[in-house]
Amino acid sequence: MVEAVVKTIDLEKGSLVVQTEDGKEISLHVHEDTDISVMELETAGEEDATLAEIEAGFIVEVEYTEGENGCHCHAVTSIS
């Protein structure tokens, strides 16, 4: 997993761009099989979410693989 800050989200294309601590920007393709979760404020646990619930500026942990057609996102977890 890589920790990063969400820079932009494109709901129509199902993608987001995140920036790592060292300044690297990663464009990620989100698919139906991508595990997305956000911090649940009352219990500080995680709850299932959709890409629409992730916002620019959120600190996230992402798990992805790089391929010919870009980066496929396997998991996005908001930690902020």
* Angle at alpha carbon of residue 42, lines to 39 and 44, rounded to 5°: 40
Q: With 0-12 CB in 10 A as exposed, 13-18 as middle and 19+ as buried, what is 29?
A: middle
Per-residue pLDDT tens digits for 37-67: 998 777 677 899 999 999 999 999 999 999 8
Q: Is the dihedral of CA 57, 52, 61, 24 positive or negative?
A: negative
Type of residue numbered 6: V
* Angle at alpha carbon of residue 55, lines to 62 and 49, rounded to 5°: 65
Please tell me which of 18-27, 31-40, 66-75 the model is most confident about, judged by mean pLDDT: 18-27
What's this model's pTM, rounded to 2 decimal places? 0.89
Domains and CATH numbers, the chain: 2-78 (2.40.50.140)
